[in-house]
Structure 1
């Protein structure tokens, strides 16, 4: 059987079939089967066509043409489909062909309770005067429910309240209305606001409900009179209180609000004129202040009646009584009189000595006339009562003028009145100085650094001492305590100003001769008996770069030019010459570096800036000139630096150099040492002397061993020249600061020069005795006194 929808052909219906379905049916649910419900045989009517025509809202239902089932196509909401209607129908026509038959079908949509009651406003505001009579009715907004019948609003409920009840009534259209009824009189002063909950309930199952808040604001009426805290106020005030002094601040309260609670204060007719003249009443604040003169002897008590009135339409008032008691005042100050006072006194005054006598008095009587005398705390004095109202001031602790030169002693007398009155008088006690303090230097040890070459009379420093005493006990005189150094008195080297302690140098110091001085300075006061103290002064002479380097190697008898000959076949790296310079300044200023000031060929020679060795950088070629001139400058490390130069003229020769023995005796002019500084010779001589002792001890030990039978092979030509040159150039020692120094010792008695010549590690020391006045001769035939010492390199 096939079912079709009929939309254009309208036939007179034969009958009407009613169906009822609830709203909110599930989509897809079968409403009914048209073939079965209409009594049609589906099997025999397979060739007949059926059509259905929904008169309205076709979207809600659909027909299954194969089975004849009518099912829900879309959710049905009765309130949307039939708003504000008590009944709701879906009408449809079913047309069956062959033969044609028409069926009218009414589908009634039944309401379900799917909506809860709702109020138009969530909050309902009501203003009710607190004077409203009981039983007064106030209409409330009703709730609405889109459902119909029993599912619509059925009744209302009100939250529990002793002041309000709820009455539900039915309107003409059948809707339910609610009225709020006042059940108990309101009092704004107790409760000014009520928050009630109104609930609307429908008749469905289960029942739905909605709520609204009912805010009741209680309006004020002037039903409360002003009230004072007390009926009678008793206050006390002192006589002679200044005008404007506060006596009491009245504060009446009114439980009403607005103008009903605004209060004004006034005197009643029962208040005396004297009281109104003596006291002022502030009409707004209720303050009572002193207006006239209060005298205990005239009036001791004032009675005042005060009225507080509000500003309501029908004003109300309250009253109180204020009793003012005037109290007698301690209006006489105690008096103090200094009978005797001793000032100044010596700071060595004995403890328990009386310094002053004081008397006190007070014209008042009773407690107001009882007095006490005292002085400030932490003072070295105390009061001792000698008789009635008489006190002695005595010393309680030792005094020290240097700590406190004077005391301002304030005597304070106080009576025992209420409030107490007092008077005071201050006396100044001056202390006389006693010479009880020794002079004090800020430091116990002074270190003064003085650069050498200072100008005589230069100020070295100020050694001012301090004495806390006064006058002659404070006047200081400074002395240098005598002490001799090398038969020289300190007063010959230094001078001190006896008045201010300024220390001066009396001579120019030379760091190379004298490096420091240690002596004492005494400061003595002029007291009787005088006291003194001393301090240690350490003078350190600071070195200046005042000595230029002196070139001692290569030796030159006259001028600064040295001539040397070397084989033209000298190898690369061979030692040509060694420049050695000495500087008698301190270590920092005596550090020497060497530089070429002039060189004929910079590619041929190199100069070590620290040890002064000049070596070949390559072998000589036939193009190199035979004569080479080297100018070397030796600079110290001072600021500004000083220097010395030497010119070395080198000549290359083709002939072989004659063989020299291992111990070479170098002839030198003895006169060259006459140009050296005497101090240099002394210093170098002392060091050489220690070295010589070491060598001699080594020789003794060496001589105890058997001599070796083998001889050393003769040196080659080049090595002979190098050793010959090292006789002069290698006369050096290694010091802690890695600088080379040369040591020389002139034997004045023998007329010989002993030269210490260290050679490379593992070799030997050579000590040669050179006769005085010998010239440059061949040393091969000479027989110098040679000492050989084995030297082992350190492990």
Structure 2
């Protein structure tokens, strides 16, 4: 205690020195609980008073509002403790605890201020609010569970008030003192080990608070912890995280998973109900549902892998205890992709139409292909159908180019319906298609083409000018102007007349060169071919020319076609009689008849007693027409009901005796012969033949004078007017002449006969030139339908066959076996020499009438021969 007083005095001296230095304020310090009479400080001395002066000048404290705990000694002038100082009572928790005193000095009057600090001593032990505190703690409280405790209080300050806490030993509890700037110190009772009410129902602990004073003081409080027997087992799942996989095409109501949580409690504490919380995504709350009793999670919405492929769910299992406890688990639901999205094809660019001359590799369209599925389900394979002429080329992922793989031809295909097909790699695979219409634009790459290279046109003669002959049509598969065709006649055609070949001319009627445009014309738009003038078969038989078709493209293309115009004969010419070419007796008979006979009458003679069948004359006629129109027949007009002594060959025109002539027939017979053709309608001509009947001698005279000229005949006719004596002399002269002529003819016949026996028989070649049109009658008589005749050379005097030669413009029929009879088949009559087809049809000449050959119909040349020569073959009958 003495040491403490010495320390207080030292402090007092220090304060006085500090007061002196600071300017007159005296400061003293005294510990609390100092005993009465303890000198706080030498106040008079510190105020500068001399000894005894404090009493003389009455140094005293000014009374305060409350009882002062210190006083001034009047004798010594020291400041003394007069009563107990309790810092806690004076200042409470305030620090420092300073008392402000006023010291009064009289004589003279002065006032001094004195500051007395009461220092703290550890005179107060820590104190809890209650000596005992009851706590309740559930046995299910987990370790680490904290219970806040109210700490003890200490009236001291500073180190004396700094408390530390201790807890009596317990394996279940511990103390935790937490210090924060905001809340200061917080004391917690921490559960270190799980409680079990059945093992330790009540835990009794002593909490001790110790301050920092010297010596330290302590305070205690008993903690009574009651363990409540409650729902101390929460439901628990056997896994904290469940993983479930479900295909995106699962139907609503599908059971995804059945969860099971267990609770070790019994009764109501073990009854569990389940609840579902959606963690992510938040908008998937209506997709799933959990059965609160069974824990089954069902699918209530539609899944779409392309929208959400992963769901995170939290399932809470809560028992029905008081308080209820919950267990938790997470369900990670993975949506599996199903191939439920077909590929999609878009056309991003289309460049149409495509020119038909576009080069291979030209890009026609740009395509984009995608599939919302993933993996193999989203891997797309593309191709184009049909495979040609287009193909696909991949540019980068999901993009393709539709390119031209083959050359185009608009005339073959003017528009393509292309289909781009896509197929994914799913099972089963899904397909998509996109149709493209790709028109092909035209290029003038096709020349007009006629349906035929050669057109054969048949036109009847005497047609009206402007009559349509034919319609020509050239096809140009191009379109628009490239396919618009115009027609024209190329002036290179020639007319072919009856007088000779095209381009030849003669004094007897050849036509020469004439342009085809003078005969025909063609309409430039329709291709209609019409005649500019009437055609005459006798002047023009074949007209060959070219028609040109030109399109309107750029550049223009053209095509040609040859037109062979054949003029068909019409029966527009009547038969025409030729001058008599009979025996010399005709001229003699005419002389004997006298010059005063009728004009246009033909004369012939016959001897009395001539047998039946003797030819007395031959009527010759020609028809300018051809074919059947020029096929002539001869008919004898006899009195009705009568039958004369003469007859005429139906096709030969030979007039012969029908029976032996006698005197009853009279000296002269007048015959009327009608010549008709076979045209429709038939045309005819008539000839009058006067036949004089003579004696045998006169007949011989007439035969001898057959070679006399027409002037001699005239003189004989003039002599007929003389008397009977002159006539007799003339008869003798003519008889001698006839005998000489007959002898000469006999010798000539013998010479020719011998020459024919030793000379080889050969065919005679005609001169160069085209073949002429020749038609023959069925019985062998010649009828010429051209203006120029051809001479034939005969090897002997036997009866010969007519010959017909022409070069047609159609191929010959296949050869066949020849007939064994005397009449060959038509196919056996065809032969080819030097590129010319020759048709020889034999007809026999005979003085006797013969039956017509049924197959020997008139034939006509259809075109000029290609070769330089025509071979005329002669065949014997």
Q: TM-score range by the shorter chain?
A: 0.3 to 0.5
Report which of the two has the higher share of strand: 1
| TM-score, structure 1 normalization | 0.44
